[in-house]
Amino acid sequence: MKKIIIDCDPGIDDSLAIMLALNSPEVEVVGITIVAGNSPVEMGFENAKKVLSFLGRLDVPVYAGASKPRVREYVNALDTHGEDGLGESFLPDVEGQDIPEKSAVQFMREVLMEGDVSVVALGPLTNLAKLIDECPDAFLSIERLVSMGGNFRSHGNCSPVAEYNYWEDPDSAKHVFDFLYKNNREIEMVGLDVTRKIVLTPEILEDMKNANEVVGDFVEKITDFYFKFHWEWEHIRGCVINDPLAVAQFINPEILKGIQAFTEVETGGISMGQTVVDSMGFYKKSSNAKIFTEVNVEAFWELFLTRILNVSSEEYGKLFSKYF
């Protein structure tokens, strides 16, 4: 079992990612840290608790982190994730679960210094940038850092060139990428080039309900709003579920393929938040990022659906292989 911290901003697809991680025997989720992103940090905390309660896993600790980006003002993404940050499912708050005094960064610091712990980051990189400032050794102890964010050849999702997580807090994203470069380390960047290929369609959702009514209904409740958003904005039937792909890549590094390249994040102007990937080696700098460009869509879905629905590969094959 590999230990991970999930740093996230739940968020509809963050919730699906948490479900995947907690149903996977290869990983032990030692804690969930929340960052302001899709939803304000307190709402993200509540939403993580709602998902954990659904999974019967309230034993997993949750810590609240940054309530705003490093430099710029906070802009939420409730237009995408619904006014409750969970697709307007309006699930009841989990009683008796207060935000702990220990901050997300403090928790990361303590756990990472013990060694052999990875981070899967599914929101803006603000907590991780703070960790660099407060305890660079703890940051450098991260075993693998997988981040959903950025884009290379694909267009952005909140500007023509920028993906939301890095656009929301470009200064933190830049800080993380620059620090990795200085220390000869790499981030695994699961960007829009690959996540856009992961579309949960109404047909798949219907068969999810056939396979496991309880989980299927829960997923339907939280994704219905997301479906409508995707249709309105991109004329996509269904919704792109970005964050679970980062967890899947952590579990099975064969799912994604890509290139290694020096990458920098733009912090201002028209291309704020853009990941500038030097795939041609113009700058003659060593790589600080694995940039994924290809995804084994079928392998992702088999992993994701067998795990969250708790069905065998055989049952999966009968219901879902027709889609991929």
Residues that bind ligand BDR (CB under 6 A): 11, 13-14, 38, 77, 80, 122-123, 148, 157, 163-165, 242-243
The single residue listed with the structure tokens 């798949």 is 204
- Least distance to ligand BDR, CB of residue 70, Å: 17
CB 230 → Ca ion: shortest distance, Å?
15
Cβ distance 224 to 183 under 8 Å?
A: no
**Smallest gap from residue 123 Cβ to ligand BDR (A):** 6
User: Which helix H or strand E contains 260, and what residues bound it?
Assistant: strand 256-261
The whole-angstrom separation of Cα 212 and Cα 281 is: 48
Cβ neighbours, 10 Å, residue 61 = 15
Give the CA angle between residues 112, 166, 58 to the nearest 5°: 45
Nearer to ligand BDR, 12 or 135 (CB): 12
Task: Compute the least distance from the CB of residue 98 to ligand BDR, in Å.
Answer: 25
Helix, coil or strand: residue 193:
helix
What residue 163 binds from Ca ion, ligand BDR, none (CB within 5 to 8 A, per partner kind)? ligand BDR
Q: Which residue is nearest to ligand BDR (CB)?
A: 164
Can you tell me the distance from the alpha carbon of 311 to that of 305, in angstroms, rounded to the nearest whole number? 8
Nearer to ligand BDR, 207 or 243 (CB): 243
Give, as ranges, the residues between 34 and 63 that touch Ca ion (CB under 5 A): none
CA dihedral 280, 258, 164, 180 (to 10 degrees): -70
How many residues touch Ca ion under the rule CB under 5 A: the total is 6
Question: Of 6, 11, 124, 204, which one interacts with Ca ion (CB under 5 A)?
Answer: 11
84 binds, among ligand BDR, Ca ion, none (CB under 5 to 8 A by kind): none
Torsion of CA 223, 82, 192, 41, to 10 degrees: -120
Q: CB-wise, 180 or 245, nearer to ligand BDR? A: 245
User: Smallest distance from the beta carbon of 169 to ligand BDR, in angstroms?
Assistant: 12
CB of 10 to Ca ion, least distance (A): 7
Query: CB of residue 115 vs ligand BDR: minimum separation in angstroms?
Result: 27
Judged by CB under 5 A, which of 122, 129, 192, 305 binds Ca ion? 122
224 binds Ca ion (CB under 5 A): no
Alpha helices in the chain (DSSP H): 12-22, 41-55, 78-81, 104-113, 126-134, 136-140, 164-168, 170-182, 192-195, 202-211, 213-234, 243-251, 297-309, 313-320
- For residue 9, the minimal CB distance to Ca ion (Å) is 5
**Is position 86 an interface residue for Ca ion (rule: CB under 5 A)?**
no
The DSSP code for 94 is P
Regarding 123 and contact with Ca ion (CB under 5 A), the answer is: yes
| Cα–Cα distance, 3 to 107 (Å, whole number) | 14
Q: Name the residue nearer to ligand BDR (CB basis): 18 or 91.
A: 18
Task: Tell me how far apart the alpha carbons of residues 275 and 211 are, in angstroms, rounded to a whole number.
Answer: 39
Under the criterion CB under 5 A, does residue 266 sit at the interface with Ca ion?
no
Sites of contact with Ca ion (CB under 5 A): 9, 11, 14, 122-123, 243
